[in-house]
Amino acid sequence: MPEEKYEELIEAFFNNELSKREESLLFSLIGTDESAKKIFKQSAFLKTGINSAVEEFPPELDEKILSSFTTKQKRVRKVFNSNFGNALAYGLAVAAVIVALFFYSLATDYRNELKTVSQTLEYQNTTMQLIMNSLPSVKVTGSLPNEVIINKKL
């Protein structure tokens, strides 16, 4: 019989799901097969360890936990319901709106200045283009006052 089948039977035994016939089959397998015996011992050790680790909590503990939640919730609500907290929140909100309006006005001023500067640059650019196109073309020739002539003598 494969080990998976042993594990299934042993798990069913510890969960009280085996019939009397299956239990007798399981114990006969444990007596004859060494690997089944090893799996049974490990499962029994695990089951006893789990059972010893489980503790019952006293009912007073639940009451203490629930009462501590309600007192904390009341404290949190009390802080937010106080007049000072409301005044502080409103004051901060008004201050934030004022600061936002100030920065918005600065941004609009800079935008207007940028438009003015760009229009001035466009005007200057077109004026320079008109001046450059209206001038006659110039031919530049140069002459040196002390001209040096080099002749080749052979």
- Going from the C-alpha of 75 to that of each of 65, 69, 81, 89, the distances in angstroms are 16, 10, 10, 18
pLDDT for res 18: 80
More confident residue, 112 or 5: 112
What average pLDDT is seen over the chain? 80
More confident residue, 75 or 93: 93
Report the amino acid identity of residue 25. Answer: L
- Domain boundaries along the sequence of the chain: 3-58, 82-131
**Does the pLDDT of residue 111 top 90, yes or no?**
yes
**Does the pLDDT of residue 86 top 60, yes or no?**
yes
Contacts of 3 (CB under 8 A, 6+ apart): 35, 36, 39
pTM of structure? 0.35
**Does the pLDDT of residue 74 top 60, yes or no?**
no
